Structure 1
Amino acid sequence: MSTENIKAETRTEFGKGAARRIRREHKVPAVLYGHGNDTRHVTLPGHETMMALKHGGTNALLELEIDGEKQLALTKQVQVDPIRRTLEHIDFVAVRRGEKVTVEVPVSIVGDAAPETLVVVDTNEIELEAEATNIPETIEIDIEGFEVGTQVLAGQLTLPSGSTLLLDPETLVVNVTAAPTAEEVEAELEEAEAEAGIERDESDEEKAEAAEGAEDEQGDDDKGGDEE
């Protein structure tokens, strides 16, 4: 895992008003805590920090330079504006090189399972312990050619050197099942709509079938009347 260097400024103003002013300047308010030190409030450059987080992934490790002092900081929580997709606030925890940290690493699926199968990811993140400077961005699982009934448990995952699994080894991560038929999908959809109280409009095909059925029924009635 590479470490991005970000120059931070000590923040002395707090509250929503101060945070809004910081964001208007295209900067990001953040806090740094850990190792028994007092929480440090800082301001980071917006674009540079956004790019560093995109490059580093969920557990991005940054080297913050605060008042001439450098501190490794592991990203713990990122708040993003749901509309503008800009950074709102970041929580970091201070770490040291060689230190072991507990993180949750996302699962990444590669390859294609056998035809007519459905690949279900039951566990999206894997909890593990790793060196702060060697946290994997993802845990890759190759499902190439997997047949129906194939399962991948947490204990079967290949972890990077120096990482230790903290999740129960018997936890189901990936499950390969038979792909549902179109009829099964339609039946499940109708059941879900019925439970939600949704009335579906008839399609043109259904209307045509209903009209044809009505004509056939009317024809039978006419025949019956002639026989009388």
Structure 2
Amino acid sequence: MSEVRISAEPRTDFGKGGARRTRRAGKVPAVVYGHGEKPTHISLPGLEFAAVLRKGGANQLINVEVTDGTRVLVIPKDIQRDALRDDIVHADLLIVRRGEKITTDVPISFVGEAEKGGLVVHELTSLSIEAEATQIPESIEVDLEGLAIGSQRYVSEIVVPEGTVILNDGEQAVASVSEPRGEAADEAEGEAAEGETAE
């Protein structure tokens, strides 16, 4: 995971009113915490921060440079969005240190095509992993190439980058391939009709 830099300003205007004023100014109110440090309230440039998350995803490593001279390495821990506009209204940022291992969720990227005619069901869309803070993969690839109808791909079959450990149960299904309902129903009806004819 590559790092990005983003500037921030200390925030002293707290409460709902202060947060609203921060957002009206085009900024995102945020809290930086972790490693026993006292939580720090900052404001981030709204459009720039949104672009960082859009490009790097939920585990983007961010170097926050505050105008008071403070610098801190963080990853987004909780992003709150407006339900209607989808704008970011608040961010919790977790302090991380190079070399330390952290636990987080990483999205699954499905590749390859299952057996022709099969209906792929994604049982999971993300995996819980443990990895070094600066080596969190943007996504974990799950290969479905040639997966037969009636088969499943399990967590234990997933190959991950060195240093990454999947915390999900190995016997948990990630994806399954079933027969399309329409075809299954047609076959069942066909078999029933053949049975009636035989009688």
TM range (shorter): 0.7 to 0.9
Cα deviation, residue 181, structure 1? 0.7
Cα deviation, residue 127, structure 1? 0.8
Number of residues of Structure 1 aligned to a counterpart in Structure 2: 185
Q: Please give the per-residue CA displacement for 1:166-190, whole angstroms capped at 9, x wherever unaligned.
A: 11111111111111116859xxxxx
- CA, structure 1 residues 184+25, in 2 after alignment: closer, same or farther (shift >3 Å)? farther
- Alignment-derived partner of residue 29 in structure 2: 29
- CA, structure 1 residues 112+14, in 2 after alignment: closer, same or farther (shift >3 Å)? same
The structure with higher relative contact order (CA 8 Å, sep 6+) is: 2
- Alignment-derived partner of residue 192 in structure 2: none
Q: For the residues of structure 2 that align with 1:183 and 1:135, how far apart are their CA atoms? A: 42
Contact 2:65 2:71 in 1 (8 A): yes
- Alignment-derived partner of residue 55 in structure 1: 55
- Alignment-derived partner of residue 43 in structure 2: 43
Structure 1: runs of 5+ lacking an equivalent: 186-228
Q: Please give the per-residue CA displacement for 1:43-78, whole angstroms capped at 9, x wherever unaligned.
A: 000111111111111212111112222211111111
RMSD: 1.6
With normalisation by structure 1, the TM-score equals 0.77
Q: For the residues of structure 1 that align with 2:104 and 2:25, how far apart are their CA atoms? A: 32
List structure 1 segments (4+ residues) > 6 angstroms apart after TM superposition: none
Cα deviation, residue 145, structure 1? 2.3
Cα deviation, residue 150, structure 1? 2.2
- Alignment-derived partner of residue 143 in structure 2: 142
Identity value in percent: 45
With normalisation by structure 2, the TM-score equals 0.88
1:179 equivalent in alignment to 2:180: yes
Structure 2: runs of 5+ lacking an equivalent: 187-199
Structure whose residues are more often strand by fraction: 2
- Helix, strand or coil for the counterpart of 2:150? coil
